[in-house]
Amino acid sequence: MEENDPNKKVLLMGKSGAGKTSMRSIIFANFMPKDTMRLGFTNSINQSNIRFLGTLSLALWDCGGQDHFMQHYFESQRDTLFRNVQVLIYVFDVHSEDQRDMNYYRSCVDAIQDHSPTAHIFVLIHKMDLIPVEKRDEAFNKKEREVVKNSAGLNVICFKTSIWDETLYLAWSRIVHYLIPNSDVLTQSLNRFCSACEADEVVLFEKSTFLVISNFSSKQHKDVHRFEKISNIVKQFKLSCSKAAARFKSMTVMNTNFCAFVDEFTSSTYIMLISSDSTILPALTQMNIDLAKKHFEGVVRASTAVAQ
């Protein structure tokens, strides 16, 4: 399998109870964070195929983390499981001090090295909400050092995550970014659109997950995690709408200092446009967004297209 194959195999691994099924359910199956309390352990491997950005297809392998399953993965299933992997996501419960967990991680890295040497590896240090705010960096850095030590020199990216805040969206947005073949195309088009509208920034979100796909800013903003926060805010609201048997279409929010538009854009994306110039009429911006829809339909398709 190549980088360009539209079918992307993503392995989700980690000790039982680490939170794998929880995060997958929130991102891809519209669970509320509190709904995850009812999840039971995953029996062996749960495979799901997820359509993403219209044409991409993620094969997400949620691998139940109980010891007897883990043993299977590294013995009888090693060749099939770790073959053709595009992305490996390993989840650590930040509280867990269990040495077996690190050994399992080590075995994953070895197996990936043997069977899918080009795979990207991400490590999520999860359940950060259980650690007091002022101790989070320290706990994360400690765990990260340990992970790097056990990664056999491979390039790994660590994130701190929790299902209770936007960190989950940050990590997963970065991860899916690696699965979009030509994401530059998108950024360039957004850049042009942003200047044409004289906007502060524009952001594209994937329609069903609300993960950030691409963005362009013409102005500095002090909050670097704002897009993930928006993902989280809108996704929660989408769920409230479904309780009322309706689907969220668009919103405009403003005060004296800004105007934000969030609107359905192409068939697989939502757009957010921020403007702080009060001389630009909202109706004009809305018209620009509507006019750009058709053009971007093609741009999004090009960004996910398989290169020849």
Partner 1 sequence: MNIALLGNKRAGKTSILKVVFQKISPNETLFTESTSRIEEINVYNNPYTKFTIIDFPGTFQISQMNANERKYLQNCSLVIYVLDAQDKPYERSLDAFVSILREVHGMNSQCFFEMFIHKIDGDMFMNDDVKLEVLNEVSDSVRLKISDREIPEPSYSLTSIYDLSIYEALSKVVQKITPQVGYLQNMLDVLMNHCRIDKVYVFDVITKLYIATDSTPVDLISYELCSDMIDVVIDVSCIYGLVESENINSVFDKKSTAIIKLDSGLTLYLREIEHMLALVCLVKADNFDRQHLIDYNIECFREGARKIFEAREKWIKDEEESKSFN
In angstroms, the CA 92 to CA 14 distance is 6
Tell me the residue length of the chain: 308
Cβ proximity of 206 and 213 under 8 Å = yes
Q: Which stretch binds partner 1 (CB under 8 A): 21-29, 70-78, 107-115, 229-237?
A: 229-237
Given 11, 13, 21, 275, the residue binding Mg ion (CB under 5 A): 21
Nearer to ligand GTP, 164 or 178 (CB): 164
Given 30, 36, 84, 276, the residue binding ligand GTP (CB under 6 A): 36
Number of Cβ atoms within 10 Å of the Cβ of 212: 22
Q: C-beta of 229: minimal distance to partner 1 in Å?
A: 6
Q: Which stretch binds Mg ion (CB under 5 A): 18-26, 96-104, 192-200, 220-228?
A: 18-26
Number of Cβ atoms within 10 Å of the Cβ of 66: 14
Q: C-beta of 133: minimal distance to partner 1 in Å?
A: 14
Cβ proximity of 63 and 12 under 8 Å = yes
Given 196, 258, 267, 291, the residue binding partner 1 (CB under 8 A): 258
167 scored as a contact of ligand GTP (CB under 6 A): no
Contacts with 307 (C-beta within 8 Å, 6 or more apart), sequence order: 4, 181, 182
In angstroms, the CA 231 to CA 167 distance is 10
Nearer to partner 1, 193 or 227 (CB): 227
Given 196, 246, 281, 302, the residue binding partner 1 (CB under 8 A): 246
Cβ proximity of 157 and 124 under 8 Å = no
DSSP state of 55: T
Position 12: which residue type? L
Given 60, 119, 147, 163, the residue binding ligand GTP (CB under 6 A): 163
Given 10, 11, 19, 181, the residue binding ligand GTP (CB under 6 A): 19
Number of Cβ atoms within 10 Å of the Cβ of 4: 11
Q: Which of partner 1, ligand GTP, Mg ion, none binds 29 (CB below 5-8 Å, type-dependent)?
A: none
Q: C-beta of 38: minimal distance to ligand GTP in Å?
A: 8
223 scored as a contact of partner 1 (CB under 8 A): yes
DSSP state of 54: T
Which residues within the stretch 46-85 sit at the binding site for ligand GTP (CB under 6 A)? Answer: 64-66
42 scored as a contact of Mg ion (CB under 5 A): yes
44 scored as a contact of ligand GTP (CB under 6 A): no
Cα 301 from chain centroid? 19
CA angle 7, 8, 12 (to 5 degrees): 140
Cβ proximity of 172 and 232 under 8 Å = no
260 scored as a contact of partner 1 (CB under 8 A): yes
The residues binding Mg ion (CB under 5 A) are: 21, 42
Which residues sit at the interface with partner 1, rule CB under 8 A?
223, 226, 229-230, 233-234, 236-237, 240-241, 243-258, 260, 274, 276
